[in-house]
Amino acid sequence: MTFRIAPSILSADFARLGEEVRAVAAAGADLIHFDVMDNHYVPNLTVGPLVCAALRPHVKIPLDVHLMVEPVDRLIPEFAKAGADIITFHPEASRHVDRTIALIKEQGCKAGLVLNPASPVSYLDHTLEKLDLVLLMSVNPGFGGQQFIASVLPKIAEVRRRISATGKPIWLEVDGGVKTDNIAEIARAGADTFVAGSAIFGAKDYAATIREMRERLAVL
Ligand code: DX5
Ligand code: ZN
């Protein structure tokens, strides 16, 4: 199993974002998780394609763009142009989920569906084979620093079973409340990609935190 750590810039210092993404990349991050919020789909407002394009030259690792916006489609070509490698969206925020997935792929990006804690796994019934990743929210979207919702663990296991049944290398990413002390449990449930905002950017030493996460994963 390959594990990936994706620091979420939501908890970074927004006055020094370029420096912050370079610092987590140097600290061993596998992806940069980029949270896009619109004060409509979620009750918070963050950044758009302009900031994504501004950060792109600062790091070589993939940019994992998590769209918490409604509607979704119009922003996809803009984020692709801005250098996004992965684009994920919430099915409730798109009128035509299959079309949105196709649009992301046409733009040359990896596509993922994001399921909120109360969103049913049945959203994957007719989509999973077309996806490059599934992102399971382990908090309600909108804010960093929230508590991991433990009832998502069996859901992670269920999605892992579905992914295994496809035989495809679809990533299973988990977002919200991931810390050094619960990352192993989340991995045991079946996740391979871990978003961590406050756990990494809230720590003094980014490299030590990412190293500790990898150590907890290595003993599985
Ligand atoms: C929440 C965002 C998360 C957030 C996670 O809506 O999607 O990516 O940054 O923050 P932590 O890791 O602090 O829970
Ligand atoms: Zn996110």
Q: How confident is the model at residue 1 (pLDDT cuts 50, 70, 90)?
A: confident
**Using CA positions, which residue lies closest to atom 6 of ligand 1?**
141
Rounded mean pLDDT, 44-53 = 98
Ligand 1 contacts CB of residue 7 (under 6 A): no
Angle at 131 between CA 110 and CA 148, to 5 degrees: 90
- Between the CA of 176 and the centroid of ligand 1 the distance, in Å, is 5
- Between the CA of 215 and the centroid of ligand 2 the distance, in Å, is 23
Measure the CA–CA gap between 220 and 214, rounded to whole angstroms.
Answer: 10
Measure the CA–CA gap between 105 and 98, rounded to whole angstroms.
Answer: 11
Q: How far is CA 66 from the centre of its chain?
A: 6
**Residues labelled as active-site residues:** 35, 175
Ligand 1 contacts CB of residue 175 (under 6 A): yes
Measure the CA–CA gap between 107 and 75, rounded to whole angstroms.
Answer: 11
In DSSP terms, 34 is beta-bridged to 65
- Which of 11, 45, 46 most suits a substitution to test ligand 1, by most atoms within 8 Å of the C-beta? 11
The two tokens of residue 61 are 């690792």
Is residue 47 within 8 Å of 79, Cβ to Cβ?
no
Measure the CA–CA gap between 189 and 75, rounded to whole angstroms.
Answer: 33
Ligand 1 contacts CB of residue 199 (under 6 A): yes
Rounded mean pLDDT, 20-42 = 98
pLDDT at residue 83 is higher than 90: yes
Tell me the per-residue pLDDT of 101-135, one tens digit each, with 9 for 90 and over.
999 999 999 999 999 999 999 999 999 999 999 99
pLDDT at residue 207 is higher than 90: yes
Task: Work out which ligand 1 atom sits closest to the CA atom of 8.
Answer: 9
pLDDT given for residue 77 in this prediction: 98
Measure the CA–CA gap between 61 and 130, rounded to whole angstroms.
Answer: 23
Distances in whole angstroms, Cα of residue 32 to Cα of each of 129, 153, 160? 25, 24, 23
Is residue 140 within 8 Å of 126, Cβ to Cβ?
no
H/E element, 136: strand 133-137
Task: Tell me the ligand closest to 42's alpha carbon.
Answer: 1
Instruction: Give percent of the chain with pLDDT exceeding 90.
Output: 100
The two tokens of residue 184 are 């192993």
Q: Which residue has the tokens 């994706």?
A: 6
pLDDT given for residue 116 in this prediction: 98
**Using CA positions, which residue lies closest to atom 4 of ligand 1?**
144
pLDDT given for residue 33 in this prediction: 99
Tell me the per-residue pLDDT of 148-190, one tens digit each, with 9 for 90 and over.
999 999 999 999 999 999 999 999 999 999 999 999 999 999 9
Task: Work out which ligand 1 atom sits closest to the CA atom of 11.
Answer: 9
